[in-house]
Amino acid sequence: MRILSNIIGAPESRPNRFDEDQNSKDYAIKMGRWAISNGWNSTHVDWLTSIEINKRFWKNDQWVFSEDLEAFFKDDSQQARGRIKVINNFIRPIVEQYRANAIIMDLSFEAEPLSYRAINRREEKLGRLKAFTVVANEFEKYNNNFSDYLRSLLPIGKSESETESMFNAIYTDEFSEAINGLLQYVKDENDLVGKQEIVALDMALAGKATMKYSVYNGELVWDFIPVENHFWDRTAVKYDLSDAMYQGEYYMSSPEFIFEKYNPEEKYKKAIERSASEYGSSADMEHWGRIPIFNVYWTDFEKFTFGYVMDEFGYPYLAKINYVYDNEQTPRYTNDDVIKKELLNESQLKVLDGKDTVDIYCDVIRYVDFIPNEYVVPSNDDVEPISDIVLDYGVLPYQDIENQRFSSVQYPYKSYCWLYYSGEVESPITALINPQRMINRYASVMENIVNNAKGANVFYDKDAVDDEAELLTNMHQSKPVGVRAKRTGVHNIIKEYNPNFEGAMIYQNLVNISKNNMDMIAGMNEPMRGQSTSANQLVGVTQLQIQRASLIQEPYYNAITNIFKQVYETTANVGKRVYSDNERRLAIAVGDRNAKIIRITKDLNLEDFRTFVKRKGNLNDQIAEGDSLLIGLLQMGMLSQTEFADMFGRTTPSQVSKKLRQITALKAEAQRKAAEQQAAQEEQMMQQQSMQQQQMMDQNNEQRALDRDAGIFKEMIKSESKMANNPNQV
């Protein structure tokens, strides 16, 4: 790729933001030109040059330095030494191993809310369940079935502590689930896994990689930005460049793309078409028929009125007053919602400077998309010369900002550096260039030695040979060779000689030494490549070598992880606002139920999320490890056949652990309910036994009463019979 140089003809000065209309086109173009002229400085051009060198060495084009071409291949008289350009590329396999490991690297993510609202939601639900526990216990005193009915509907126990234990086992934040579903949707739609490879390549060759988000047709879109196209404020000190005053990029665009995306005025369309056609053959341009567009972003400020209002949980909350948020028609909070200063505490009054409301300057990101006049070809038909063509400008919509931190606005670019100091970026490959050059030189000298060497032969004394032709014929036919030595011996007459390759072997040893040095710099060794140094080498020694090499490589993979961590955090914090404004796409992304959750909270101040990204190995290896874990759990009886079949072949160890905890919690809850049912059944059986015993006692008493009555009746009959037989008996 050719490096664009001298983009802005002369250094630009930064406009005074208090003297300019910050919403004007003129202000936007001044800031854009200032950012380009300062960002595209000598340090940046030197870095682009080093990237070009690194890429050429990676692509096997390694004889690029004049000192290699002139001093090495020619002598002092500028005559060729007879050497050729030999390349023994050790940089390529190092880069490919870096890239391959990044391709199979699995980045798992999980978002959790940062604000106190999540804690309040949890405590509110727990408090409600504890209240129902008290109600159920009260009704239980009256032997009322309503307490059993409540426990069948709600996860409540016999006591508040039991209810809290049950709640901790089963509670999940619904809003967090919805956001994690949104992360998965954006990940799949933008093929973020596939972008790991190109991010890894830029990180290896340039020491930095960049992703960028934009909103197009209601979707959050993530694009990879080629490292050569991105420029930034070189006074930034953070590895993620988030403290830069400005950032930007350029890309080569066709006129039809510009017309479709921006729809500029007719005179600008003609100028763009003319410039793309006529200026396409310039030495600074790489693509014919295209013209560069610059997107420039910078941190700016706006004045907002703030005051304390009551949030949905009844807590004072510092919010913007009379401010209309994106895609809302009316202010969320007005002066009528402001809490009077008499009701605020000392720290809150300090924020407001003792007033009901206060004006605060907050960070915002402004942008301009334009074509510098240096690339606009003038026309004789133009009444007024066309200078910079401004395509779009203003305040960046859907800014990445935390609600509780008004000066935390983030750029749409998500970058990270392998090594960054004093505005300079270093790559893992830069330190390998000079050793690779020496290897190529050694290889060229070795080739020259071998090329000039001859086969084995003999030399002989011509004065001792009568017929030289006969001698050569006999030697070629392997016949005995006779010479006249006058009885003095033949040991000095004919002697064999061989070419000397010791010089070539010396250079081969130098090649091996340089290669080992490159491996040490890059954190590579035989165990890392799956090779063994010795059949007798202990496993512990091999593991130690791998660990030491991994420590050297760790900053590389950590940089890639940090880029995607920023990507997922921005997706959580920006994506929820983007998709909340497009309910149809939101429902497709996260499902109707989760979409409803996000819509409910849209009327509130949407909370901030932190995303945790964990780096794992190859997904297939993780699934194989998960299957092994599942088999063990099945053998121990901790999983049923149905649960085993559902998870086998598609779950990682972490997913198995999470599922196991869910199963254990469900089983514990099932056991608790089973124990309650068993206790209820036992109590019912005892009541039935008691009733049966009472019935038996009643029956026995009744039988005894009947027997007594029968005995009395018999006695009465006997008495009456006696009286009937002896009527005269008194």
The amino acid occupying position 641 is Q
More confident residue, 633 or 171: 633
CA distance 77 to 493: 41
| 3-state SS class at 225 | strand
H helix intervals, 453-489: 468-476
CA distance 94 to 90: 7
The amino acid occupying position 614 is K
Contacts of 536 (CB under 8 A, 6+ apart): none
Contacts of 109 (CB under 8 A, 6+ apart): 180, 183, 187, 564, 565, 568, 611, 612, 613, 614
* Res 604: pLDDT: 40
Say which range, 36-50, 333-347, 372-386, 431-445, has the weakest mean pLDDT: 372-386
Average pLDDT over residues 260-283: 80
Sign of CA dihedral 631, 633, 638, 639: negative
Would you state the structure tokens that stand for residue 162, as one six-digit string? 């039991």
The amino acid occupying position 634 is L
More confident residue, 54 or 7: 54
Q: Percentage of the chain with pLDDT > 70? A: 76
Question: Strands across the sheet with 208-216, in order?
Answer: 219-225, 208-216, 413-417
Neighbour-count burial of 57, counting CB atoms closer than 10 A to its CB (0-12 exposed, 13-18 middle, 19+ buried): buried
* Res 368: pLDDT: 96
Task: List phi, psi (to 5°) of 136.
Answer: -60, -40
pLDDT digit string (tens) for 455-479?
A: 666 767 777 777 778 777 877 777 7
Average pLDDT over residues 418-445: 90
Residue bearing tokens 């053998």:
635
The amino acid occupying position 506 is I
pLDDT digit string (tens) for 536-556?
A: 554 454 555 555 556 678 889
CA distance 729 to 430: 144
* Res 4: pLDDT: 53
Average pLDDT over residues 360-386: 82
* Res 11: pLDDT: 65
Please state whether the predicted TM-score (pTM) of the whole model is above 0.85. no
* Res 665: pLDDT: 64
More confident residue, 391 or 376: 391
Q: How many CB atoms lie within 10 A of CB 309?
A: 20
The alpha-carbon radius of gyration of the chain (Å, integer) is: 43
Average pLDDT, the chain: 79
DSSP string, 525-547: -TGGGT--S-TT--HHHHHHHHH
Average pLDDT over residues 98-106: 84
**Highest mean predicted confidence (pLDDT) among 104-118, 373-387, 476-490, 559-573:** 559-573
DSSP string, 349-390: HHHTTTSSEEEEEEEEEEEEEEE-GGGPPP-TT-SS----EE
First to last CA, the chain: 147
pLDDT digit string (tens) for 206-236?
A: 999 999 999 988 889 999 999 999 999 999 9
* Res 249: pLDDT: 94
Question: What does each C-alpha distance from 435 to 205, 215, 413, 509, 521 come to in angstroms?
Answer: 16, 46, 34, 14, 10
